Structure 1
């Protein structure tokens, strides 16, 4: 594997302040941690929380002399896109097991993965469920499996560094709340461990009330303890994973026009809509700051 130095020598992603006329008078400062800008120019899909999760996995793969990354995900998975881009950037083959039958024409995420050299294998939903339960295994010498969403023990320190980085960048962390979108829950789980007790909110982009228990499970499995001062807030999934509505698309378009920050319709669009609604409804106290993590995923648009 080549270019691994890019993982250990990088500048912190910037923070951008958001000012919206609809939120004037709320007294809440809204900042955006632009982790979408972590990507090197030659691999724009390798960014955000996927960069954080894969950092130590890729370093370990390089240490082991691995020649192929194997992973799994849905048809709209930012993780699939990021693994494919990482393979191109670091000079390693990639395989993606995709949930469900192929639907042509392929969506932008899957087309981009193929363009970046990934071999796609479409797996029936039943076989995918069995694969998820069993866990990915090496098929050949040199294979390095990365689980769905990228969440494993080596993903935790990468996401923890995101929290530690934020603490150094914020001028008033004591009055700040951090917010992040949740798919598998791994980013939230790791982020919490780096925030030193700073309040943190996870916005699930899937239906169901399982996310809190999932994150608690990751904490127990990967850190051996539970962590305080965080919560998940449901109700902003717009019908479920990868489901969109005209309201969401209109918000994303207006937000881009006013801020210049592009959002994706799977994760960050729903996160930022949630924060907008929470600020507007008075959820955050006047004088406080909320920091939204922009985790990338623009290729999904």
Structure 2
């Protein structure tokens, strides 16, 4: 039960999400088929991996008697917006710890405006403090400031999030040979890979941030959630296009072309980078003829 006494199913997610075949001549010439896993259609306020990563955390918060959620994100965080929406729908008070100076973020962008409209209290912290957000003394200071609360990590990525995302992998068993997903904090990939069929499917994660740190993060999440590394997964670090929320002329051209061909404008922060990576890998001969690719549209 939630803080309001309603079951989490009150959110009424659309599961499993649709799997849609896409005909594209650029892939067809390599004998490769593309399927879009439309996880963005799960719920209007908690699309895709946001629902999957938050679901078990929301249940754990409610089971422990919490009525307040505290979490972290940058100024353009989809996770903050989704957590705020969950709070509005389920009766939780929500607090968003935002990276960066408050004055520099005024007026609020569309993401933070939506989170605030859904009742989220925004607390801005400097970047040095934000980098230490997982340290016990920083968490304790936040609890002293805001009171008793259930803490959800940045991006929602923890063991419960990975366990929630394993269902995504199970939904794709038998549907594709290779499954691709864009990665921010790694929780979706950690769970997705664990849920895929062993010995017959593999996952590719496309980090949207620079730094080369994500492999270790995904492995830690799998160790916490499943007891060790599991599933066949790799990362391709080449398609961040400058880093989080950044773009390049090449990515812009690819995104516009994909939208013209298929009537779907992929999100530039995450999905477009992943799709660009898949099409590049196909051109490089990374997939044998007959390969079925499933690309997760996370929203």
Establish whether TM, by shorter chain, passes 0.5. yes
Separation of aligned partners in 2, 1:9 and 1:222: 23
Q: TM-score, normalised by structure 2?
A: 0.89
> 1:185-224, aligned counterparts within 5 Å?
185-197=186-198, 198-224=201-227
Contact 1:65 1:142 in 2 (8 A): no
Unaligned runs of 5+ in 1: 297-301
Q: TM-score, normalised by structure 1?
A: 0.89
Contact 1:136 1:146 in 2 (8 A): no
Separation of aligned partners in 2, 1:245 and 1:96: 30
2:157 corresponds to 1:151 = yes
Separation of aligned partners in 1, 2:63 and 2:14: 20
Contact 2:159 2:222 in 1 (8 A): no
**How many residues were matched structurally?**
287
Separation of aligned partners in 1, 2:116 and 2:182: 26
Secondary structure of 1:120's match? strand
Q: CA deviation at 1:59?
A: 1.4
Q: CA deviation at 1:68?
A: 1.4
Partner of 1:74: 74
Q: CA deviation at 1:9?
A: 6.8
Q: What per-residue deviation string (whole Å, max 9, x for no partner) do you get for residues 124-169 of structure 1?
A: 001112223336454566521111111112112211111111116x
Partner of 2:185: 184
Contact 1:3 1:89 in 2 (8 A): no
2:23 corresponds to 1:19 = yes
2:248 corresponds to 1:245 = yes
Partner of 1:31: 35
> 1:1-301, aligned counterparts within 5 Å?
1=3, 2-6=6-10, 10-39=14-43, 44-102=44-102, 103-134=105-136, 136=139, 138-139=143-144, 143-167=149-173, 170=175, 173=176, 176-197=177-198, 198-296=201-299
Unaligned runs of 5+ in 2: none
Secondary structure of 2:172's match? helix
Contact 1:167 1:195 in 2 (8 A): yes
Q: CA deviation at 1:232?
A: 0.5
Separation of aligned partners in 2, 1:161 and 1:249: 32
Secondary structure of 1:274's match? helix
Deviation larger for 179-188 or 273-282: 273-282
Separation of aligned partners in 2, 1:286 and 1:97: 47
Separation of aligned partners in 2, 1:251 and 1:192: 27
Contact 1:159 1:191 in 2 (8 A): yes
Q: CA deviation at 1:181?
A: 0.8
Q: CA deviation at 1:19?
A: 1.7
Q: CA deviation at 1:273?
A: 1.1
Separation of aligned partners in 2, 1:115 and 1:230: 38
Secondary structure of 1:286's match? coil
* CA distance 1:105–1:248, change in 2 (3 Å): farther
Separation of aligned partners in 2, 1:177 and 1:222: 22
Contact 1:53 1:155 in 2 (8 A): yes
Separation of aligned partners in 2, 1:255 and 1:116: 33
Contact 1:206 1:241 in 2 (8 A): yes
Secondary structure of 2:20's match? strand
Separation of aligned partners in 2, 1:108 and 1:141: 28
* CA distance 1:264–1:212, change in 2 (3 Å): same
